[in-house]
């Protein structure tokens, strides 16, 4: 399966996918890595691995619609079977979502703590357990059908950085596992449920 990964920052999840995809038996080939800003640190890592990169900088477009249309065009050119949002900090519009299946990794157990500050919000709330979720992206913010979740305990003395570090270790592992399964087995989305196997629903 052809996979495009979208990033905004360090790209540690992307790097884990690149490493896994180096083995042909993984079933997914990372055909390109895209970012919403030129300075996304992960882009260099992708280039070093010999993967095509592109940027559709949000700042270059007049409005969200134009940016989404431009991103959609870039994605179409890659002909992906699956798009992975791995630390991509932008809301994707209908232009993209109607044409591609997009999965996202989120650093909390959804539906708890959606949004850009999930780790900080979980700590502030005082939960003893949080975690990570891989889900299909829909038009809401972190609201799409859940594919997989793993719990992470909040330890005494945790701050946002230490907790996020442990969550990211779990995210990498889960994302590599889920993307490989989707690529090898295909998937169908019906309502809130994602079923692995069967025909690849585009
Ligand atoms: C991850 O924790 C992701 O869930 C969150 O941002 C972080 C991105 O990290 N939305 P990286 O760019 O994959 O290193």
What's the pLDDT tens digit per position in 103-149? 999 999 999 999 999 999 999 999 999 999 999 999 999 999 999 99
Give the H/E segment covering residue 193: strand 193-196
Q: Which atom of ligand 1 is nearest to the CA of 11?
A: 12
Please report the beta strands in 26-162, taking only residues with DSSP state E, as ranges in sequence order.
Answer: 29-35, 52-55, 82-85, 102-106, 129-136, 146-153
Q: Is the dihedral of CA 184, 189, 195, 198 positive or negative?
A: negative
Average pLDDT, the chain: 96
Torsion of CA 7, 43, 35, 51, to 10 degrees: -90
Residue 199 scores a pLDDT above 70 = no
Q: Which of 5, 107, 134, 137 to mutate to test the pocket of ligand 1 (most atoms within 8 A of CB)?
A: 107
Mean pLDDT of 86-110: 96
What's the pLDDT tens digit per position in 159-180? 999 999 999 999 999 999 999 9
Q: Which atom of ligand 1 is nearest to the CA of 13?
A: 13
Buried b (16+ CB within 10 A) or exposed e, 113-149: bbeeebbbbbbeeebeebbbbbbbbbeeebebebbbb
pTM across the whole model: 0.95
Mean pLDDT of 185-193: 93
Mean pLDDT of 79-94: 96
pLDDT at residue number 62: 86
Give the span between the Cα atoms of 202 and 136, in whole angstroms.
Answer: 12
Is residue 135 flagged as an active site residue? no
For the question of an ipTM over 0.90, the answer is yes
Domains observed in the chain: 2-196 (3.40.50.170)
């Amino acid at each position: 399966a052809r996979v495009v990964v979208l990033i905004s920052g360090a790209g540690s999840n992307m790097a884990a996918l690149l490493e896994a995809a180096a083995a042909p038996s993984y079933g997914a080939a990372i055909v390109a890595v895209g970012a919403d800003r030129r300075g996304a640190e992960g882009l260099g890592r992708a280039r070093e691995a010999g993967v095509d990169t592109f940027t559709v900088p949000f700042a270059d477009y007049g409005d969200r619609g134009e940016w989404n249309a431009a991103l959609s065009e870039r994605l179409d050119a890659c002909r992906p079977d699956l798009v992975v949002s791995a630390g991509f900090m932008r809301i994707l519009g209908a232009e993209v979502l109607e044409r591609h299946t997009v999965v996202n990794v989120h650093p909390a157990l959804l539906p708890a703590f959606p949004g850009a500050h999930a780790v900080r919000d979980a700590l502030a709330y005082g939960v003893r357990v949080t975690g990570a979720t891989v889900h299909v992206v829909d038009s809401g913010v972190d609201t799409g059908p859940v594919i997989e979740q793993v719990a992470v305990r909040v330890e005494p003395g945790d701050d946002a950085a230490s907790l996020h570090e442990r969550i990211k270790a779990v995210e990498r592992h889960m994302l590599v596992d889920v993307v490989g399964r989707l690529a090898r087995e295909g998937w169908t989305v019906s309502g809130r449920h994602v079923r692995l196997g069967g025909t690849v629903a585009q």
